[in-house]
Structure 1
Amino acid sequence: MRALTLEPGTAGSLRLTDLPDPTPGPGELLVEGLAVGVCGTDKEIVQAEYGWAPPGRDRLVLGHESLGRVSTAPEGSGFTPGDLVVGVVRRPDPEPCGACARDEFDNCRNGRYTERGIKELDGYGAELWCVEPAYAVAVDPALGHLGVLVEPTSVVAKAWEQVRRVGERAWFEPRRALVTGAGPIGLLAAMIGVQQGLEVHVLDRVETGPKPRLVDRLGATYHSGYVEEVASGLQPDVVIEATGVGDLVFAAMGNTAPYGVVCLTGVSQGGRRTRVDAAKVNRDMVLENDVVVGSVNANLRHYRQAAEALAAADRDWLDGLITRRVPLGSFADAFEAGPEDVKVVITLDGGR
């Protein structure tokens, strides 16, 4: 089989590699890879900023946003050949910590977790892969190739869950949400916000192209102005922050409605200084009972929530989110940003 591999820590090492077909272990599914999404984490690994190969190995199979079709499944697994599935990314640490022991491995406390395609476990960027049934999530067959969006949607399903849990420390009935950043994470966060019946606003810097169109088709409102102006005018009850831009993060934090909840999903780049009136931020958060919470990764229930949210979404809208599909043989093109890219996917099955 062909697989997309690299040597973590070595820039320029990404290549297509011929590997032996995998043999499923006891109880595992053998899955035909259909597609793998490309995100910022993949690009950081390719640029040697991140990533770990499996122990005793130099190279890692890339890819954590998966979609596959079950080829073989053991009896009693809950899956049958032909089922569409995605593989969960993270695995609990072997200790395990208290969170991992309770299947909350997205909140691992000791950092000894592993991740498919990222940290010490081969990913899903291969024509064949194996997965334990406990870490496979069924995809509605009607979604077809759009099932590759389950993993990024799981990230925002968790974010919305965190917002709800924080808000419910007291009476919580949000009406208006602001999503900062109209990349895949931001747009999928907006989608779930609309599904919850909220008035959703999305802020991004571009003024033309697919992003404003996708927001409009979602029934949300698109903004391209300064975050201070937009947020102060809206006074959102909830902010889902998906850019990681420091100035924007603090501006959003300072312009919510009282009892506002800000959920940070974007990872900031280090080394950039931001001028912040820390005393004002503290004063506002205390006097308004505001909360800022970080959220990353997802566990099994978030994948299932994501699969349900996608199954309920408009198929044409989801299809518009995937702006480029690149065949495996042309994988390098997927890592070069296009002017109108939103979501780029590598197809693994020759376009079948």
Structure 2
Amino acid sequence: MRAVTVTPGVPDSLRLTDNWPEPAAEEGAIVVEALAVGVCGTDHEIIGGHYGQAPPGQQRLVLGHESLGRVLEDPSGTLHPGDLVVGIVRHPDPVPCPNCAVDEWDMCRNGRYTEHGIKGLPGFARDRWRVQPKFAVGLDPVLAPVGMLLEPASVVAKAWDHIDRIGSRAEWKPHTALVTGAGPIGLLAALLATQRELSVHVLDRPITGPKPDLVRALGATYHTGTVQELDLEPDLVVECTGAPSVVLDSMCKVGPAGIVCLTGVSSGGRTLDFDAGALNRALVLENNVVFGSVNANRRHWEQAATALARADQSWLNSLITRRVPVGEYAQAYSPTGDDIKVVLDFTA
């Protein structure tokens, strides 16, 4: 069986193995044939040796957390052979913490959770994998070409779920949303914003190329430049870049009683000359909320599946800028400046 693996902590140890063992029965009752996995920045960090943890007793970690597969067998009866399925990435910690105990594993309090292809669980970049029924999400057949987008879409669905919950603290009827960053997370955030019939604005750097066109195809407005240069006062901001200056500008730009959701992860070691006191004053006096959001629980995966099935499928297909056969795996993990979403294809 083929599998794409790394030795965590060892840079550039990416390999395609042809004799990887079949998935152990302990991984789950549902047996799945891999169709594709998406590639994201987390994979690049793991390949660079900056992150990642192999399963207990193993030296190598199977990559791939943005899964798409087809059910081969399911003795539990949850799904049926031929069904499209994705595997939920995070599993609750064994203690468990109060949140994991009620299946809110995305909000784990003690950090002992595990994640497929990232931390302590084998990933989905292998010809066959297993999953427990609790962590298997069936997909509408219409999503066969793009189902691997469900993982990033689940992150966005969680962000919107929490925005809605925070907004319910008062009478709040948002009209204008700003999304900073037009990568996969930003574009999917914009998609869900348009499905909420908001006036959507997306900010990124490219002037030409696919990103401006993808934003406009949603009926949203594309901007370049800085957040502070925008001639609008958004009711909410979904920040998807992690760039420190964009993060701070987003906090300053949002309107009264506004909400800023941070989904981008900043790298450390960079300082900015910034008036933190003025920001504190604005946040307090305008009743603004800034919060971070990462990962997702089953509720969000199901919300994401519904959102993707409602979307224009040709638009979703346009997010995938490269489909690379698994035999040419190294190309999939070699980023180019034009990539939005790269997919490793196990069917080619």
TM range (shorter): over 0.9
1:262-277 counterparts in 2 under 5 A? Answer: 262-277=260-275
TM-superposed deviation, 1:115? 0.4
Q: In structure 2, do the counterparts of structure 1 residues 83 and 278 end up closer, same or farther at CA, with 3 Å as the change threshold?
A: same
Secondary structure, in 3 states, of the residue corresponding to 2:238? strand
Secondary structure, in 3 states, of the residue corresponding to 2:67? strand
CA distance in 1, matches of 2:27, 2:176: 49
TM-superposed deviation, 1:27? 6.0
Tell me if the contact between 1:150 and 1:303 (Cα under 8 Å) persists in the aligned partners. Answer: yes
> Which residue pairs with 1:293 in the alignment?
291
1:99-126 deviation digits (Å, cap 9, x = unpaired): 0001100000000000000001000011
Q: Which amino acid aligns with 2:44?
A: K
Q: Which amino acid aligns with 2:8?
A: P
CA distance in 2, matches of 1:248, 1:316: 31
1:56-92 deviation digits (Å, cap 9, x = unpaired): 1110000100000000110x43111000000000000
Tell me if the contact between 2:28 and 2:130 (Cα under 8 Å) persists in the aligned partners. Answer: no
CA distance in 2, matches of 1:255, 1:31: 46
> Which residue pairs with 1:37 in the alignment?
38
Q: Provide structure 2 residue ranges, at least 5 long, that are not aligned to the other structure.
A: none
Are positions 1:322 and 2:320 aligned together? yes
> Which residue pairs with 2:2 in the alignment?
2
TM-superposed deviation, 1:23? 4.5
1:201-280 counterparts in 2 under 5 A? Answer: 201-230=201-230, 233-280=231-278
Q: In structure 2, do the counterparts of structure 1 residues 331 and 27 end up closer, same or farther at CA, with 3 Å as the change threshold?
A: closer
Moved over 3 A (4+): 23-27
Tell me if the contact between 2:27 and 2:131 (Cα under 8 Å) persists in the aligned partners. Answer: no
1:30-58 deviation digits (Å, cap 9, x = unpaired): 00000000001110000001010111111
- Aligned-pair identity in percent equals 59
Q: Which amino acid aligns with 1:129?
A: W
Tell me if the contact between 1:94 and 1:112 (Cα under 8 Å) persists in the aligned partners. Answer: yes
Tell me if the contact between 2:31 and 2:72 (Cα under 8 Å) persists in the aligned partners. Answer: yes
> Which residue pairs with 2:15 in the alignment?
15
Tell me if the contact between 1:35 and 1:145 (Cα under 8 Å) persists in the aligned partners. Answer: no
Q: In structure 2, do the counterparts of structure 1 residues 26 and 329 end up closer, same or farther at CA, with 3 Å as the change threshold?
A: closer
TM-superposed deviation, 1:21? 2.2
1:122-179 deviation digits (Å, cap 9, x = unpaired): 0001110000011000010011121111000000000011111111111111000000
Tell me if the contact between 1:178 and 1:200 (Cα under 8 Å) persists in the aligned partners. Answer: yes
Are positions 1:305 and 2:306 aligned together? no
1:199-252 deviation digits (Å, cap 9, x = unpaired): 00000011110000000101100001111111xx21000100000000110001
Q: Provide structure 1 residue ranges, at least 5 long, that are not aligned to the other structure.
A: none
Tell me if the contact between 1:88 and 1:137 (Cα under 8 Å) persists in the aligned partners. Answer: yes
> Which residue pairs with 2:141 in the alignment?
141
CA distance in 2, matches of 1:274, 1:35: 41
Q: In structure 2, do the counterparts of structure 1 residues 27 and 188 end up closer, same or farther at CA, with 3 Å as the change threshold?
A: closer
> Which residue pairs with 1:98 in the alignment?
98
TM-superposed deviation, 1:25? 4.0
Secondary structure, in 3 states, of the residue corresponding to 1:145? coil
> Which residue pairs with 1:118 in the alignment?
118
TM-superposed deviation, 1:260? 0.7
- How many pairs does the alignment contain? 347
Q: Which amino acid aligns with 1:176?
A: T
CA distance in 2, matches of 1:226, 1:161: 27
CA distance in 2, matches of 1:349, 1:96: 38
> Which residue pairs with 1:24 in the alignment?
25
Secondary structure, in 3 states, of the residue corresponding to 1:48? coil
**TM-score (norm: length of structure 2):** 0.98
CA distance in 1, matches of 2:255, 2:27: 53
CA RMSD after TM alignment:
1.0
> Which residue pairs with 2:50 in the alignment?
49
Q: Which amino acid aligns with 2:47?
A: V
Tell me if the contact between 1:69 and 1:83 (Cα under 8 Å) persists in the aligned partners. Answer: yes
Q: Which amino acid aligns with 1:3?
A: A
CA distance in 2, matches of 1:118, 1:25: 18
